[in-house]
Structure formats: structure tokens, C-alpha cells
């Protein structure tokens, strides 16, 4: 019985010893595992402090597990850093002259995605320049301006007229504007009054409204200054404007390039103008809708011989007034002339205008047929002052009295 007890005790001791050993081994293993976990955690935290999480992209470039420096370098080498509005779509490309990302923005992205230990969460970042360009070009693609000119409205849509547009350095860069140019040329053709013919009622006798004839604008009138209009419209698109006043970009012909007649009443002639009848050899000056002067005996350009001596028909404007003046030119035989006058009011660049002619003795109705002027309207010295005094309408820096030379 003692032997059985001894065996039993021995067996129990072995079990106890085995359990103790297992406990000791477990404790040691636990400490080892714990220490490993602590070490792994520390390593992960240290790594996360200097490296991007694995699922991070900047401008579409994968920068996971890279440091700030390496991530910045990779993005600047591979990112499609330029966006262009092309055929009304946003097209991305790589521009070697553009730096996509700088260190401060890279660090900012890093801070936004940084976790205590690496995370598999997905992060997609877009650089500020690219994001701004995308928004600006998207806005531009939807832009529309109402172009107002002479009572007409034209709807101009950026998507139809602008192509190859980029946005960089806080401003738009317009590449292909040919469609806008074509559109403005079409508008100019529709609305311009230069060289246009129309019906106009001229005086007859002592009546301001005598008879209706067809007249044609020469230097009188206006047109769309396409180059300036295009520049201003591009600025308007860039600023997000909804309306544009076409009156801000017009041009004219002749002595000045200012527009003439825009917005005027009475077929854009206004209520103050001069009329020269080549057939009747008469002049009317209309002032504020009323007859101010009626000259019944003037002499215009010689009809027979050189066409260069004929007074040109059409609607012109007074360039300036000069007193006294000397008129210089060439006679039909090639000789030169210099004629002093007291009053000079030209209306063509070729040198035609109103002036007194103290040398003239023939003031008959037929004098102009063979013995007229070189194209000017000769006025009697006793009557020229009345013309001078009634040509006073000043616009801009020059005189713009419309002058209608008709049959």
C-alpha cells in the first residue's frame, strides 16, 4: 500500500511539474509575443510617420508606401498636370514645363491621410492648381454671353466658339479662337453700316423733307471692330460676364477711325447734316431738324474730263475746320496749284470739302459741267460764313457733320 501511495505521489509530482513547466513556458511565450507585438506596433507607427499609406494617389499617380520627397518627385514626373478644354471636353496631359506639386502641398496631403499605423483606406488627392483649372474650365464650358449691338442680341456660347483653352497662373489661356473670329465677322457683315445703301429723304426747295432717294455710306457709318471685340469678349468670358455691349468696340473710316452714326435717329444720320445736290448745284444745312442754310448757287467738281475732278457721291462727314487755309493740288495739265481760302471744311481724304472761291466768276447752274472745281464744293465768299457757322457739331475730338452728296 505504501508503494502504491509512493507511485501515486510520484505521478502527481510529475503532473504538477509538467503543469508548472507549461505555465512557465506559456508565460515566457506570452512575454515574447507581447514584446513582438510591441516591437511591430512601434515599427508600424514609425513607418507611418514617414510614409504614405498604401492606397494613396495624387493626380492619379500612386504614391503608396513612399516618403514625402519620393512621392513629390514621382508626381512631378508622371502626373497629367495640365487640363485643357478641347472640343467641349476636359482633356488631361503631361506638361514638362509645369510643376504639379511642391513640398508644402505634398506635406499637406500626407498630413490628411496620416494614421497612427498604416491603413488600407483609399485616398485620392488632386493638386490645387489642377483642381482650380478643372473648375475654371468647367465653368467656362457652360458660359454664355449676350452680345448686344444696335438693337440686336446674339447669344455667344463658349462651348461653340472657344477651343484648346487652358487655365494656368490664375488666368485663362485661349488657344483656338478662330470660330469666335468667324462669328464676329458674320455679325459685322449683318450690322455694319459702312458702304451700305438705303433710302433717305433729302430737302427740296425750302422743305427739309423733300424727296426720298437712295444714298450710300462712304466714310459715314460704323462697323464691328472685330479684333477689339474679340479681346473684350474673351475678358468677359474670363470674368463670367453675362452681357456685352457691342458699342464698346466699333470702328469707322476716313479721317478718324471713330464710328459715326451709331445710335443716331433718322437712318443714323441724325437731325443735323448737310446735303449737296450735284444736279441742282445747291446746298442745304439742316440743324436740329430745321433748315438753317439753303445755298442755291454753288459749284461742285467738273463733270467733263477727269473723273478725279468730280465731286464723289455718297455720305461722308466733315473732318475738321480750318481758317485760313491753302489748298494745294495738281491741275489736269500736271501743274501745281496753291489756292488760299478763308474757310476750309474737308469731307474726303482725297481733298474734297466746302470752301470759299474768291477767284470764281461763273456761278451759273451749268458751271460745274466744264468749268467746275477739282471736286470741292465752291461757295460764294459772301455765303461761306453761314456754312462755317452752322458746322459746329463736335463729337469725340473732331467734327462729324454728315455730308450727303447726291444727284
Copy the grid coordinates of residue 71. Answer: 512621392
Residue 253 has φ and ψ, to the nearest 5°, of -120, 165
Residues 6 or more apart whose Cβ sits within 8 Å of residue 152: 190, 191
Q: Phi-psi region for residue 384, left (φ > 0), alpha (ψ -120 to 50) or beta?
A: alpha
Q: What is the mean pLDDT of residues 285-299?
A: 96
User: What is the distance between the alpha carbons of residues 192 and 217, in angstroms, rounded to a whole number?
Assistant: 11
User: What is the distance between the alpha carbons of residues 32 and 13, in angstroms, rounded to a whole number?
Assistant: 28
At 154-199, the pLDDT tens digits run 999 999 999 999 999 999 999 999 999 999 999 999 999 999 999 9
Cell 457691342 identifies what position?
246
206: part of which helix (H) or strand (E)?
Answer: none
pLDDT the model gives residue 367: 97
> Cβ(343)–Cβ(399) under 8 Å?
no
59: part of which helix (H) or strand (E)?
Answer: none
Topology of domain 273-406 in CATH is L,D-transpeptidase catalytic domain-like (2.40.440)
Residue 397 has pLDDT above 60, yes or no: no
Q: Name the band, by pLDDT with cuts 50, 70 and 90, for residue 316.
A: very high
Q: What is the mean pLDDT of residues 342-362?
A: 96
Residue 4 has pLDDT above 80, yes or no: no
- Delimiting residues of CATH 2.40.440.10 domain(s) in the chain: 273-406
To the nearest 10°, report the CA torsion of 241, 246, 249, 255. -170
As a whole-number percent, the residues of the chain with pLDDT over 90 amount to 81
Beta bridge partners of 346: 353
Q: What is the mean pLDDT of residues 213-239?
A: 97
At 62-92, the pLDDT tens digits run 999 999 999 999 999 999 999 999 999 999 9
For 14, counting Cβ atoms within 10 Å of its Cβ (0-12 exposed, 13-18 middle, 19+ buried), the class is exposed
Enter the pTM of the model: 0.83
User: What is the distance between the alpha carbons of residues 380 and 359, in angstroms, rounded to a whole number?
Assistant: 10
Q: What is the mean pLDDT of residues 246-256?
A: 95
Strand 56-58 to 123-125 pairing: parallel
As a whole-number percent, the residues of the chain with pLDDT over 70 amount to 90
Angle at alpha carbon of residue 57, lines to 131 and 127, rounded to 5°: 25
Amino acid at each position: 500500500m505504501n508503494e502504491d501511495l509512493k507511485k501515486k505521489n510520484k505521478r502527481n509530482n510529475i503532473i504538477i511539474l509538467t503543469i508548472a513547466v507549461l505555465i512557465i513556458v506559456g508565460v515566457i511565450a506570452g512575454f515574447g509575443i507581447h514584446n513582438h507585438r510591441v516591437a511591430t506596433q512601434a515599427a508600424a507607427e514609425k513607418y507611418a510617420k514617414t510614409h504614405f499609406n498604401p492606397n494613396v494617389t495624387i493626380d492619379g499617380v500612386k504614391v503608396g508606401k513612399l516618403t514625402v520627397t519620393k512621392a513629390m518627385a514621382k508626381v512631378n514626373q508622371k502626373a497629367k498636370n495640365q487640363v485643357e478644354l478641347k472640343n467641349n471636353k476636359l482633356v488631361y496631359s503631361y506638361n514638362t514645363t509645369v510643376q504639379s506639386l511642391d513640398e508644402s502641398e505634398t506635406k499637406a496631403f500626407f498630413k490628411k491621410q496620416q494614421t497612427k499605423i498604416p491603413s488600407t483606406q483609399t485616398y485620392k488627392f488632386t493638386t490645387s492648381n489642377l483642381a482650380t483649372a478643372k473648375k475654371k474650365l468647367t465653368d467656362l464650358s457652360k458660359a454664355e454671353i449676350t452680345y448686344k449691338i444696335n438693337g440686336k442680341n446674339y447669344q455667344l456660347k463658349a462651348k461653340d466658339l472657344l477651343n484648346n483653352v487652358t487655365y494656368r497662373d490664375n488666368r485663362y489661356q485661349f488657344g483656338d479662337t478662330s470660330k469666335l473670329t468667324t462669328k464676329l465677322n458674320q455679325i459685322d457683315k449683318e450690322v455694319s453700316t459702312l458702304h451700305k445703301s438705303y433710302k433717305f429723304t433729302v430737302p427740296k426747295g425750302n422743305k427739309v423733307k423733300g424727296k426720298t432717294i437712295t444714298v450710300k455710306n462712304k466714310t459715314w457709318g460704323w462697323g464691328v471692330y472685330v479684333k477689339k471685340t474679340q479681346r473684350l469678349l474673351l475678358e468677359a468670358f474670363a470674368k463670367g460676364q453675362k452681357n456685352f455691349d457691342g458699342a464698346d468696340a466699333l470702328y469707322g473710316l476716313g479721317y478718324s477711325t471713330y464710328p459715326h452714326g451709331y445710335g443716331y435717329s433718322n437712318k443714323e444720320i441724325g437731325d443735323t447734316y448737310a446735303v449737296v445736290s450735284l444736279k441742282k448745284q445747291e446746298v442745304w444745312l439742316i440743324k436740329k431738324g430745321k433748315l438753317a442754310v439753303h445755298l442755291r448757287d454753288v459749284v461742285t467738281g467738273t463733270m467733263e474730263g477727269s473723273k478725279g475732278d468730280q465731286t464723289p457721291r455718297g455720305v461722308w462727314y466733315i473732318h475738321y475746320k480750318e481758317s485760313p487755309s491753302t489748298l494745294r493740288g495738281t491741275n489736269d495739265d500736271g501743274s501745281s496749284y496753291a489756292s488760299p481760302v478763308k474757310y476750309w471744311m474737308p469731307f474726303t481724304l482725297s481733298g474734297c470739302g466746302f470752301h470759299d472761291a474768291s477767284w470764281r466768276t461763273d456761278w451759273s447752274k451749268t458751271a460745274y459741267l466744264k468749268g467746275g472745281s477739282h471736286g470741292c464744293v465752291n461757295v460764294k465768299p459772301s455765303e461761306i460764313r453761314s456754312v462755317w457757322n452752322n458746322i459746329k457739331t463736335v463729337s469725340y475730338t473732331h467734327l462729324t457733320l454728315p455730308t450727303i452728296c447726291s444727284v
